Structure 1
Amino acid sequence: MVSRGVDPHELRAAVAEVLPWLGGEGEQPARAVVGLAVKLSLRTLEQVAPGRSVEVRVPPFAAVQCVAGPRHTRGTPPNVVETDARTWLELAVGSLSWQDAVDGGRVSASGSRADLAHLLPVVRFTEGDR
């Protein structure tokens, strides 16, 4: 199943809602606000890197399959990335590097295709946007 395209304005608006929290300047937003930012940014990753060889999981909010390569159909995929919502959103906006997240144990990445460094960030903000 192919998901519908993500409206870039909707994505930026959803992610903008969590930027103060990601920057350490506020309390965690409501679950629905975090969830929407996670879901839209993951769907954007799907669009940027179409395919089904890597499963990216951000429990409890969403999981997507992306990256071209061998298609996975049953059981646990051979290439899995899993992280929490805050870490994913920091990666999605570029405030955390892939390598720092992996080295810090904030991301679990298994499989030969599970390195997403070249695909991140999926949403960019300038200082004027923040």
Structure 2
Amino acid sequence: MIGRVAPGKAVDPAEMRSAMLVVGDWLRDGTVDAPARAELAAAVRLSARTLAQIAPGASVEVRVPPFVAVQCIQGPRHTRGTPPNVVEMDPRTWLLLASGLEDLAHAVGDGRVTASGSRAAEVASWLPIVRI
């Protein structure tokens, strides 16, 4: 089953790429029917968890409701309440960023991404996760 990865388990790059390819046509063309919820969830979860693997740490939290929130990037650790550095967006925007079809600064500029905290923009250094 695609996308069923426990939070602590390493993401298989081939599985993540496969999940991203399933949503690729929809990402490139907004008129294409959206993928099934399970396919969308798999692509979001696997790509976000890959970000957490390649940029380990806990100074920035990336949120893609309703599917996933991950902590990433080395630096001061947050332990209680709302983290000081948060990047949040909808699933399609995340997948556009993760696939390199969109730029973080542009998505923040047009309001599709909220980024708070002095380190939130550092997420851009780790994108794209995989080009499709």
Bin for the TM-score computed over the shorter chain: over 0.9
Displacement of 1:111 in angstroms is 0.4
Displacement of 1:4 in angstroms is 1.5
Preserved contact between residue 3 and residue 43 of structure 1 (Cα < 8 Å) = no
Tell me the TM-score normalised to structure 1 length: 0.92
| Identity, % of aligned positions | 60
Displacement of 1:26 in angstroms is 1.6
Deviates more, 1:73-82 or 1:16-25: 16-25
Displacement of 1:92 in angstroms is 0.1
Aligned partners of 2:73, 2:88: CA distance in 1, in Å?
15
Which amino acid letter does the alignment assign opposite residue 112 of structure 1? S
Displacement of 1:5 in angstroms is 1.2
- Give the aligned CA root-mean-square deviation in angstroms: 1.0
Give unmatched runs, 5+ long, in structure 2: 1-6
Deviations 1:48-89 (A, max 9, x none): 110011111000000001110011000000000100000000
**How many residues are treated as equivalent by the alignment?**
124
Structure 2 match to 1:47: 53
Pair 1:10-2:22 in alignment: no
Which amino acid letter does the alignment assign opposite residue 121 of structure 1? P
Structure 1 match to 2:3: none
For residues 80-91 of structure 1, the aligned pairs below 5 Å read 80-91=86-97
Deviates more, 1:33-42 or 1:21-30: 21-30
Give unmatched runs, 5+ long, in structure 1: 126-130
Counterpart among 99, 104, 109 of residue 105 in structure 2: 99
Displacement of 1:124 in angstroms is 1.9
Pair 1:36-2:42 in alignment: yes
Tell me the TM-score normalised to structure 2 length: 0.91
Deviates more, 1:16-25 or 1:69-78: 16-25
Aligned partners of 2:8, 2:101: CA distance in 1, in Å?
26
